[in-house]
Amino acid sequence: MAAYSRALAVACGWDEAASKKLELAAMMHDIGKIGVSDAVLLKPGKLDEAEWEIIRSHTTVGRDILSKSSSEIIQLAATIALHHHERWDGTGYPCGLAGESIPKEARIVSVADVFDALSMVRPYKDAWSLEQIMENMTKGAGTQFDPYIIETFIRILPEILEIKKHWDVDGALVYKRT
Ligand SMILES: [Fe+2]
């Protein structure tokens, strides 16, 4: 998902250096999950409210871990960790920010993160078809996602799929619940 974030940043007009920094920072977006037990992260089936509360804490825990560093990339990562589950309509977490008050880096990463999550098998779900994913993401423009970033994502979909192909072959990564 970090590579998708970089491609999206370039397509949104960010320069190469800033986009590369975003890619590095995006890799740390879920670092707060080290504070969440596998019993919750890998639980098949539905979570209760208390378990959701624990899941949601990965954003603030991630920010707390990363914000201690003075490195520019780690500071960027702290912002992304905190805000990558905000929603454009203000119903996300943890801060309930809406629209352009959500830092752009977090808006980019949230689109990349959802595409990544939906296109992969997780313990609690199968991978979705590309058609289902694109329908879901298009529906989320203006509610879950920044509509401009979704428009950009659709425009560069061939490039995104090339990146995905690379990871499908080489990426033996195990992802957990986002
Ligand atoms: Fe997350």
At 172 the pLDDT is 46
- Which CATH number belongs to the domain containing residue 106 in this structure? 1.10.3210.10
CB 86 within 8 A of CB 95: yes
Q: Ligand 1 centroid vs 88 CA: distance in angstroms?
A: 16
**Nearest-angstrom CA–CA distance, 142 and 87:** 9
Q: Ligand 1 centroid vs 83 CA: distance in angstroms?
A: 9
Residue 176 lies in a domain: no
At 43 the pLDDT is 87
Residue 175 lies in a domain: no
Q: Ligand 1 centroid vs 117 CA: distance in angstroms?
A: 10
Q: Ligand 1 centroid vs 151 CA: distance in angstroms?
A: 22
Beta strand segments in the chain, E: none
In Å, how far are 30, 63, 65, 126 from 35, measured between CA atoms?
10, 12, 10, 25
Q: Ligand 1 centroid vs 80 CA: distance in angstroms?
A: 9
Radius of gyration for the alpha carbons in the chain, expressed in angstroms and rounded: 15
Domain count of the fold of the chain: 1
Please give the chain's pLDDT, 178 residues, in tens: 999 999 999 999 999 999 999 999 999 999 999 989 888 988 888 999 999 999 999 999 999 999 999 999 999 999 999 999 999 999 999 999 999 999 999 999 999 999 999 998 777 777 889 999 999 999 999 999 999 999 999 999 999 999 998 877 655 454 545 5
Q: Ligand 1 centroid vs 84 CA: distance in angstroms?
A: 6
Residue 178 lies in a domain: no
At 171 the pLDDT is 53
Q: Ligand 1 centroid vs 156 CA: distance in angstroms?
A: 23
